Amino acid sequence: MGKLPQSPLEVRLAATLFLLLLGVADLFGAWEVKNFAAFTPAGTAATVAPETPHAMAMCAACGTMAMEHPVDLASLDRPKHVINRELLVQDTHVHVPVYAITALLLSLLVCGLRLGSRTRSAAVLAAFAAPFLDMTGLWGAHLLPRAGRLFGGITVAGGFSMGLVYLFVLAVTLIQCWWRRPQGDADARTA
């Protein structure tokens, strides 16, 4: 354990570039969440809450269901995005494996860094707990809309915890692999 900082240049470069590319993907993921849901428990709950038939009214002209609510002129050109059960199934099918792969790769990097066993264990647990919290919150808000804010908070916590794990691994990797390298590293031996 803890040999990543002494690894050859190409190994350290691969780890760093993976983390930087993952960071770009995370930024776009956060932007997508902002566009379609919210970073708040209430906003998340409202996005995944099932539509209730008694709150709906049939639109005779368009043949679709529509909810009655006050009109806010500033929001007329902004569509409201709702994640129904079918989309939630699709999102779970796509996001859980990607989250698992991301958690695994972050965990492999954690195991290569010079960290104590407890710190490594905590980072690995947090990396795998984040997607569990995220999906539990989304499904909880969908299946139990009365507790939507609670489950929305769980979703927000899951997303932010994965971001914190990522930032921790990125910072430690950059520091150990590029700024505080041990003397007599692998690059000097191969040059």
Tell me which DSSP letter residue 53 carries.
G
- Say if 186 falls within a structural domain: no
List CB contacts of 14: < 8 A, sequence separation 6 or more. Answer: none
In this structure, are residues 131 and 93 in contact, taking their beta carbons and an 8 Å threshold? Answer: no
Q: What is the pLDDT of residues 94-118, one digit of tens each?
A: 888 898 999 999 999 999 999 999 9
Q: How far is CA 112 from the centre of its chain?
A: 23
- Say if 58 falls within a structural domain: no
- Say if 163 falls within a structural domain: yes
- Say if 118 falls within a structural domain: yes
Q: For the chain, what is the domain count?
A: 1
pLDDT confidence bin for 191, thresholds 50/70/90: very low
- Say if 109 falls within a structural domain: yes
- Say if 115 falls within a structural domain: yes
Beta strands in the chain (DSSP E): 56-59, 64-67
pLDDT confidence bin for 78, thresholds 50/70/90: low
User: Which residues span the domain enclosing 128?
Assistant: 4-48+80-181
- Say if 174 falls within a structural domain: yes
In this structure, are residues 67 and 55 in contact, taking their beta carbons and an 8 Å threshold? Answer: yes
Q: What is the pLDDT of residues 38-70, one digit of tens each?
A: 778 888 788 777 765 444 444 444 445 556 667
Examine the pLDDT at 119 and tell me if it is beyond 90. yes
Nearest one of 159, 149, 148 to 27, comparing CA atoms: 159
Nearest one of 191, 167, 184, 179 to 23, comparing CA atoms: 167
